[in-house]
């Protein structure tokens, strides 16, 4: 029986508040914690809402606790703390415990690290990049806590939600769980970590592959795509086709302009990718109203699922199960072949997403093209072509940008995000492009250090082209804190 707040249970009140836009950031209403029994609050609302002296915002603040954004409590110490010391202290500042459900916040069995700013909950793929920094700090216990929290969510919900909020229970994020286990193994050299979470990995795999038996050629069911040639790929998806609670009115206003009956699901699918939002998803490459995430199989997702399949095969071998070893091994071999078949653009020499509706790669050039190199799935020739594209189009004075198009969306030019600095660095090192790897590291780390020197903050994202300004774009202001920036910066500074 659920004991967290399901926004469906207060939907009339919730919708009224969001439409009134009484909070500048609509995530605030989605994160409210009831002061009293929720049925009593709803009853009071129904009795009072038509009174001439009724003030909606006052009623909300009287009956709910508003969660504040995570503050960087050490800003005042910025002149006395070197950046590495600052990050070390931030791990404690960003640590949370959720031993019970509060409002929409889901209970988790272990402490965890939040990103910072408006993000005061456990996020899935953020946590892998946070773990990189925890590894540098020797915080193995917290690394194991993160893995255990992911396992708890998979065991209880069948997947790791986008974040630990009840309103995220219709979607996940890029599946990093098996790579998290690699990081634990790298730190401890204990193969038992794979055996311990073998069934958990299987359950997550089943989530991503749900619908594979029901998919017709050229069609998709949930997160599974069957191409016109009958091959299985995966896409990002969301179980619901309605406005996001945390961005309700933004979605409502955009949907009025869009003619797509699945506009909301396309928006939510982009959120599952972590790239919310980018021209990568737009039919015209320009406007969010033309979003078509659901029409694509994505190169990053399929590489991550190749890793999960490979890890399942490897773990089955450890457990002495040759049938499962072969089963998952065959899946991994086939997926590797399909990654080359469907995502490689021979003409442009780069990996792209696959538009299964039109049976061709998408036009967008984006930094997720690095995933096949990150996992060493590319040939030497392909890696050379990708590296050339990276230098010519993506590597800027402040780090790697995410796309080659400036749209005003935060996952587009000119912004550089921490995850892709690490993915880019490792991808280049894997194929011995050491000079490029060093430039990625030095350009981005110098940008982080400059902003820290000027502001005392570590930011969610950075402007890679104008290194004298701070990044922007998207639905909300640039956040500080910031979990994955702290983690990637720490790891890169220690990497050669």
Give one DSSP letter per residue of 315-351, joined into a string.
HHHHHT-HHHHHHHHHHHHHHHHHHHHHHEETTTTEE
**Which spans in 27-75 are helix H?**
27-30, 38-48, 56-63
Radius of gyration of the chain (CA): 22
Q: List the Cα angle 52/54/59 in 5-degree steps.
A: 175
Omega cis (within 30) before 277: yes
Cα 319 from Cα 331, distance rounded (Å): 18
Q: Can you give the length of the chain in residues?
A: 496
Contacts 24+ apart (CB under 8 A), 347-351: 348/389, 349/382, 349/385, 349/386, 349/388, 349/389, 350/385, 350/386, 350/389, 351/299, 351/386
- DSSP 3-state assignment of 15? helix
Catalytic: 276? yes
Q: How far is CA 495 from the centre of its chain?
A: 24
Q: Which of 251, 276, 365, 412 is catalytic?
A: 276
Tokens 């207060």 — which residue? 10
Q: Is 435 exposed, middle or buried (0-12, 13-18, 19+ CB in 10 A)?
A: exposed
| DSSP-assigned beta bridge partners for residue 360 | 355
Contact criterion met (CB below 8 Å) for 4 and 166:
yes
Rounded to 5 degrees, φ, ψ at 377 are -100, -10
Cα 410 from Cα 417, distance rounded (Å): 9
Cα 188 from Cα 185, distance rounded (Å): 5
Active-site residue list: 276, 460
């Amino acid at each position: 029986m659920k004991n967290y707040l399901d926004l469906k249970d207060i939907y009339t009140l919730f919708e009224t508040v969001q439409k009134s836009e009484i909070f500048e950031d609509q995530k605030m209403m989605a994160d409210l914690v009831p002061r009293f029994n929720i049925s009593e609050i709803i009853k009071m609302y129904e009795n009072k809402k038509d009174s001439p002296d009724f003030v909606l915002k006052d009623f909300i603040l009287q009956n709910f606790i508003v969660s504040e954004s995570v503050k960087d409590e050490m800003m005042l110490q910025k002149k006395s703390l070197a950046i590495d010391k600052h990050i070390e202290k931030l791990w404690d500042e960003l640590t949370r415990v959720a031993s019970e459900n509060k409002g929409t916040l889901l209970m988790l069995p272990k402490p965890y690290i939040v990103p910072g700013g408006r993000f005061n909950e456990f996020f899935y793929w953020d946590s892998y990049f946070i773990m990189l920094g925890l590894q540098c700090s020797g915080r193995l216990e917290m690394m194991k806590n993160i893995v255990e929290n992911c396992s708890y969510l998979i065991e209880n919900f069948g997947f790791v939600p986008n974040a630990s909020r009840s309103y995220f229970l219709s979607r996940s994020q890029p599946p990093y769980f098996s790579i998290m286990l690699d990081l634990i193994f790298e730190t401890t050299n204990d193969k038992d970590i794979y055996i311990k979470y073998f069934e958990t990995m299987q359950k997550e795999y089943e989530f991503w592959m749900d619908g594979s038996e029901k998919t017709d050629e050229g069609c998709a069911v949930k997160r599974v795509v069957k191409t016109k040639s009958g091959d299985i790929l995966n896409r990002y998806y969301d179980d619901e086709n309605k406005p996001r609670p945390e961005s309700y009115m933004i979605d409502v206003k955009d949907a009025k302009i869009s003619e797509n009956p699945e506009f909301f699901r396309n928006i939510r699918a982009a959120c599952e990718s972590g790239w919310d939002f980018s021209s990568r998803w737009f039919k015209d490459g320009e406007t969010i109203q033309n979003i078509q995430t659901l029409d694509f199989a994505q190169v990053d997702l399929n590489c991550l699922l190749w890793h999960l399949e490979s890890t399942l095969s490897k773990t089955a071998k450890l457990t002495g199960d040759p049938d499962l070893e072969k089963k998952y091994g065959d899946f991994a071999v086939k997926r590797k072949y399909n990654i080359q078949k469907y995502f490689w653009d021979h003409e442009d020499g780069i990996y792209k997403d696959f538009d299964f509706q039109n049976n061709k790669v998408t036009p967008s050039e984006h930094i997720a093209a690095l995933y096949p190199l990150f996992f060493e799935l590319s040939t030497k020739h392909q890696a050379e072509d990708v590296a050339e594209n990276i230098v010519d189009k993506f590597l800027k004075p402040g780090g790697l940008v995410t796309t080659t198009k400036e749209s005003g969306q935060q996952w587009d030019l000119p912004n550089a995000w921490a995850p892709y600095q690490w993915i880019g660095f490792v991808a280049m090192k894997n194929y011995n492009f050491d000079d490029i790897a060093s430039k990625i590291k030095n350009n981005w780390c110098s940008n982080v250090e400059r902003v820290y020197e000027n502001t005392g903050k570590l930011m969610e994202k950075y402007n890679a082209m104008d290194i004298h300004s701070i990044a922007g774009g998207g639905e909300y202001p640039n956040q500080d804190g910031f979990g994955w920036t702290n983690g990637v910066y720490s790891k890169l500074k220690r990497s050669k």
